[in-house]
Every structure is written in structure tokens, then in C-alpha cells.
Structure 1
Amino acid sequence: MTTMLDGITGGIVDTPRGGFHVIRAHANPSGPYDPADIPVVFIHGNVSSSLFYQPTMLGLGRDSLATDLRGFGDSETLPVDATRGVRDFSDDVAAVLDSLGIARAHLVGWSMGGGVVQQLLLDRPDLVATLTLISPVSPHGFGGTRLDGSPLSVDAAGTGGGGANPEFVASLAAQDTSADTPTTARSVFRTTYVAPGYSSDLEDLWVESMLSTALGDDNYPGTTAASASWPGFAAGTRGVLNTMAPTYFNTAGIVESAHKPPVLWVHGELDAIVGDETFFDLNTLGKHGIIPGWPGDEVAPPQPMVAQTRAVLDAYRANGGDCTELALPGVGHSAHLERPEQFREALLAHIDGGEQGQS
């Protein structure tokens, strides 16, 4: 059972695609959703769950919910078909909203969840009132591409399940809650999810959320495939990390979407996970000599993730969409945790503006 804060309720929502755990904050948590209201729906990132959103939801003053993706939190552990990109996740979210009778929502996606909500805009634009992206995965996927999204190799070598740190996976399997080594969930949270200096009385909750991740070839991290290109592997076809490989994932099509809801992009300038030369990118590790045999910048440059997102959202704006970028100094990968009041203020202004523009 997950730990829920006072004011949060939760339960399983049964859908044709499976059972998904949903938490909710509302003045009447057990009551039905008012069809006239547009709730805020939060989608978490990789190695996390809806628990990360509880303080944000409680401080929002609006009807809101967050769902655990398949294989995370208390949702059903179902296999992830990575050849569909993140569509297993986005289709699940759509099924939850349909089952709850929610016709439109203000969607908020963090990290991998940012890719999920962009995919929903492509596949189910009817559901999207506004879009908020917190340190999202690049629209061109995670790793293996140039600024324009073109692949560095035919199979996007160095991306997908093979890039996971086996010691981190082992610590998740052991349910290690300590900070005894750099690869435990607590240590990884402190060093990569947030910027240096962040602390919280809720850190045990964040670690609990990370440890809820289902492990294996069908979930996290997923399978891998051999590659003739450095570093010798490419994305497999199953599991979480492979969903974001550029061989399967690309949401840059939002630029051409007929429906262009307002977009708020929030990211920290000290983000250690999504950046223009992040050490979560195998090419960055090669460039800095951590992985031997790197073939050089001409062949395997680090992915400019933030620059790619900015380029796609600039094009979105040029094609008639509205987009606001909020870059936060001193903030890492988790703006909603690290600058909660500033994030909520920006989110509410974004939502209010979107509702006024569509009224």
C-alpha cells in the first residue's frame, strides 16, 4: 500500500486495459467528477509514481488526480511494448480518463510523463485542455540524435534498456532505502532528481515511490539489442527505457497538430537528467572518458535535449500555438518539489489563461 498524505484519497480504476491506481485531491474526494469542471491530471516520470505529486495537488486548490502508470506504484504490472513508443502508457491514461467520465483535462507530465502527455495530444487531442511539461524527455526521444532529431546511427546505438546502471537496478530489487552507495534510490534521488541543497521531510515518500518500480525485461529497464555501432548496443523491443528510444519515440508531430492547446514548459537549469550534455546520455559518458572507445563528436555527440525541446516548441509557437518557457536557476529535475510555490503559481496562471482563451 502506498503512503498517502491527509487530504489525498486513492483507489484502483478498472478499465478495459487493466487496473490503474489513481489518487485524488478535492473538496469532496469521494464525490463524482463534475462534467462542467476540467480537472488537473498529473503523469509521473520514470522510476517514480503518483506519490511525487501529492504536495502539489494538495496546494493547488483545484480538483486534481494523478495515476500510476503500468508497472509503477499500485497500478497493475503489465508488459510494456516499446515498439509503440510511450503509447502503452498514454493509452492507459486515456482509458482511465474515459472510465472516470473525464472528457477534457489540464495535463501535467514530468520527465517521461512529459512524453506521455505529448503523445496524448497527438492521439487523443480531445482530452487536452492545456499541456504542462516538467523537465520533459526531448520530443526526439532520449539519446542518439542530433539537434534536428536525426539519428546518429541507423539503430540509435547507445539508447534504451542497455543504458541502465545494473547496480541501480539491483538496489531497486533489494528495496534498499539507505544512502550507503551512490546507486541506491535515495542516493540517486539526492544527486539527480533534485539540485544540490534540496532537502525534504518527505524524502522517505519519494524513495517509497521509486522503489515501487516493477523490474524486468517487460518493465524497467527492459531488453537490449546488439549494435555494430559504439557502444555496442541499441534499444530492445520491450520495457520502459526502450519506449523513449528515438527508434520508437517521436512527439515532434505536435508542431503540426490541428489542436494546439497552450503549453507551459518548466525546467531547472541544474537538471542532471534532461540536459544538453547529461551524464545519463551514453555519448556524454564516452566523451568524458567514463566509457572507453568513444568515436568522437562527429559520430556520437551528446544529445542536446533542452535545445531540441526549445526548437520544437518554437516551431509549435510559429505554427499558431502558445508556449511559455519557465527556466528556473538553482533547480534540478523536479521543479514541482524544489520550487513548489513558484511552480503552482505558474501552473494555475497557465490553466486560468487556457480556460479563458477557450471560453
Structure 2
Amino acid sequence: MTTPTSDHLMAGITARDVDTARLRVRVLERAAVGEEKGVVVFVHGNVSSSLFYQPTMLALDPAFRALALDLRGFGETERLPVDATRGLGDFADDVIAALDALGVERAHFVGWSMGGGVVMRIAIDNSHRVASLCLESPVSPYGFGGTRLDGSLLTPDAAGTGGGGANPDFVARLAANDTSDESPTSPRNVYRGTYVADASAIDNEDLWVHAMLTTATGEENYPGDATASESWPGFAPGTRGVLNTMAPTHCDLSGLVNIAPKPPITWIRGSADAIVSDASLFDLNHLGALGAIPGWPGADVAPAQPMVSQTRVVLERYAAGSPGLVDEVVFDGCGHSPHLERPSEFIAALHALLDRARAAGDA
């Protein structure tokens, strides 16, 4: 694997800041070689940055131009507040503004985790600009936590979701730029324990930890604010910051099923994903069932969110009557980061999606 230099870039990747109508955005690029087939835009997930996608950009078919953007409050993009009442809208609009500034009218989008929700939001609001969607371990279309299979709320205020759900020590260690492995809640150990299934098999761990540590912390960014709730575990979403953008009171991406035109979608996930799962270790209701959080009121009141099942139901509705429009790819034993854990298989699935889009005339 290519080793990053002191500026955290791998050979073949360039970085620049792009001024947009909304904010200043850091963009990584791997230029196309020869006649350009199209543009592929990579959108990272929560507590990460565009740096995570460098190996994938380098492995991409060289005829495609590859761009990876840092979302607001992550990486080297401007650290502006996040309005969570818009769901993932701030992030989606920032991406579109950056593409406008770069003169990119239409692209293939790859979104990882929270970034999967961002690219779904882009497709809902700007379907004419989306040639294809690759959803990598995406957040559920109904946000993170607090919902039943059909997306309905478990409590009116979505108790147990949003900014109050972050581990305070993890947030403090992000803010302190902690690179150690002395605590289970250090960013390095969170990466090892939840981002991937087998960290020992993946190169460049220091780079991935560095990318995590670029996260802006606080009530305006990560994790966001919270409000009190009469329901267990005693808090509900606020209106600011990253985790509240995915609270089900603010985030509903099920409108994806109604967009037109409908680009082809490939959904890639790992069977051992600890973060986006029907039994997520970041879902407080599931943690309550495990006894990790006291006072859990029981499965009738606070069941775990069926995240993967929700995504499957929505994508089945999206593809209704159109065989081949959606492809689900599952890597056995893989965690939350298929592009790092199964790089050759991931790029093969992405290339197959690009081929499908071109065959459909959507290059």
C-alpha cells in the first residue's frame, strides 16, 4: 500500500481548498488519465475525513476523476456550525456547493456510514446530478436509533438518540488529540474495536486515527446538544451538531424511493459491522438490553433499531418493478469499513456499479 507523506497524502493524491457560496471545502483529487469517463465523489462518514478514501481513489479505474471532500467540521474543511433541524441537509448542500465551484454538474457518489445518508440526501434533492449511488455501510434511511422497522418513532421525542448519546470520554479524547491506546474510549481503540473487524490486517492505522482526530467537537459540531426527556434514558435530540442530524426527529431519507430519475444503487456492507447493524453497539437500546446501560425498560418499549432491515425495505421499494436497479453486496466477516477491509472486492463492486450506470446511459 502507498505510504502517506508528512502531509497525510498518498502519492497520486493532491489536496486543495475550494471556496464555495457556503464555506471553504478541502478537496482531495486523483486526476483522470486519458479520456475521462466521469467523476466519482467520495463522502466520508462521522468522526473521519476524506483521508480515509485515498487508497480507494488510487485503485479506481484511472479513466475516472476521483474527488473526496471533507464535510463541515471534519478534516480541513471550515468548521462552521451544523444545523441539525435540516437533518443531513447542511452536509449535502455543502457537497453540491463544492461541486458547483469545481464545475462538476453530474457525478457518481460513494457515501460511507453517515456519508451514505449525505449522498441519499443529495439524490433526493438533486437526482439529476447523480449518475449512481454506492452506499457503503450507510446510516439507515430513518436515521440512527429510536425507530421501528417502518421508521416510526418509539417515543415522540426519539429518546436516547442524538447528541446526548456520545461517550463523553471519547469526545474529550478527540478534543485532546489523543493518539494513545490507553483507554477503551481512545479514538485508536474505537477505530480498532468498531470501525473494522480486524485492525491488525489493515495498514496505515496512524493515518486513520489522525483523520478521526480532525473532528471538531462541541455542541455546534460533534456530538451536538441534547434536551431532557421523560423517557429512558433521560435525554432526547437537540437541534445542533452532528449526531442530531441523524436523529429520527430530523432525519428521514425514505423519500429516496420517489426520486426521478432513479440512478442504479450498490449497497455494500460487512456482516460483522458493529456500528450499522440490527444489533448496533452504538444503539443505546441495544446496549440497554445487554445490561451496559441501567434501567432499560425492555424490548416492548425500547427495542434495538433494525438498521440493516430498514435499509433493505427502503431499497426494495426503490427498486420495485426495476430488476437490477439495486445490488446488495455483503462481505462475510467484514466490519464497518469495507473499502479498507476488503479493498479489492470493494473496488470491484464499485466498478461493476459504474459499468451498470454507463450501460444505462448515465455516465
Classify the TM-score, shorter chain.
over 0.9
CA contact (8 A) 2:179 2:188 kept: yes
3-state secondary structure, aligned to 2:110: strand
- Shift of residue 14, structure 1, vs aligned partner: 0.5
For residues 83 and 301 of structure 1, the distance between their equivalents in structure 2, rounded to whole angstroms, comes to 25
State the superposition RMSD in angstroms.
1.5
Relative distance call for 1:77 and 1:319 in structure 2 (3 A) is: farther
Match of 1:309 in 2: 311
Write out per-residue CA displacement over residues 206-263 of structure 1, whole angstroms, 9 at most, x where no aligned residue.
0010000001110000000001111110000000000000000010111111221000
For residues 201 and 279 of structure 1, the distance between their equivalents in structure 2, rounded to whole angstroms, comes to 24
For residues 199 and 345 of structure 1, the distance between their equivalents in structure 2, rounded to whole angstroms, comes to 20
For residues 261 and 307 of structure 1, the distance between their equivalents in structure 2, rounded to whole angstroms, comes to 21
1:356 aligned onto 2:359: yes
- Shift of residue 53, structure 1, vs aligned partner: 0.2
For residues 266 and 17 of structure 1, the distance between their equivalents in structure 2, rounded to whole angstroms, comes to 31
Tell me the amino acid that sits aligned with residue 73 of structure 2.
Answer: G
Bigger CA drift: 312-321 or 38-47?
312-321
For residues 139 and 200 of structure 1, the distance between their equivalents in structure 2, rounded to whole angstroms, comes to 29
CA contact (8 A) 1:255 1:319 kept: no
Match of 1:334 in 2: 337
**Unmatched 5+ stretches in structure 2:** 1-5
CA contact (8 A) 1:260 1:320 kept: no
Tell me the amino acid that sits aligned with residue 147 of structure 1.
Answer: L
Identity among equivalent positions (%) equals: 59
Match of 1:42 in 2: 42
1:343 aligned onto 2:346: yes
Tell me the amino acid that sits aligned with residue 38 of structure 1.
Answer: G
Match of 2:3 in 1: none
3-state secondary structure, aligned to 2:11: coil
Query: Superposed, which structure 2 residues align to 1:153-302 within 5 Å?
Result: 153-196=155-198, 198-302=200-304
CA contact (8 A) 1:158 1:283 kept: yes
Write out per-residue CA displacement over residues 273-304 of structure 1, whole angstroms, 9 at most, x where no aligned residue.
00001110000111111111111111110000
Bigger CA drift: 186-195 or 283-292?
283-292
For residues 286 and 345 of structure 1, the distance between their equivalents in structure 2, rounded to whole angstroms, comes to 39
3-state secondary structure, aligned to 1:4: coil
1:114 aligned onto 2:116: yes
Query: Superposed, which structure 2 residues align to 1:127-142 within 5 Å?
Result: 127-142=129-144
3-state secondary structure, aligned to 2:132: strand
Match of 1:8 in 2: 13
Tell me the amino acid that sits aligned with residue 99 of structure 1.
Answer: A
Query: Number of paired residues?
Result: 354
- Shift of residue 37, structure 1, vs aligned partner: 4.3
**Unmatched 5+ stretches in structure 1:** none
1:20 aligned onto 2:25: yes
3-state secondary structure, aligned to 1:137: coil
Report the TM-score, using the length of structure 2 for normalisation.
0.95
Report the TM-score, using the length of structure 1 for normalisation.
0.96
For residues 124 and 198 of structure 1, the distance between their equivalents in structure 2, rounded to whole angstroms, comes to 40
Bigger CA drift: 8-17 or 196-205?
196-205
For residues 131 and 182 of structure 1, the distance between their equivalents in structure 2, rounded to whole angstroms, comes to 35
For residues 252 and 319 of structure 1, the distance between their equivalents in structure 2, rounded to whole angstroms, comes to 18
- Shift of residue 127, structure 1, vs aligned partner: 1.3
Match of 2:328 in 1: 325
Tell me the amino acid that sits aligned with residue 342 of structure 2.
Answer: R
For residues 260 and 356 of structure 2, the distance between their equivalents in structure 1, rounded to whole angstroms, comes to 20
Write out per-residue CA displacement over residues 8-28 of structure 1, whole angstroms, 9 at most, x where no aligned residue.
001101001010000001146
3-state secondary structure, aligned to 1:39: strand
For residues 206 and 316 of structure 1, the distance between their equivalents in structure 2, rounded to whole angstroms, comes to 34
Indicate which of 63, 71, 76 corresponds to 1:74.
76
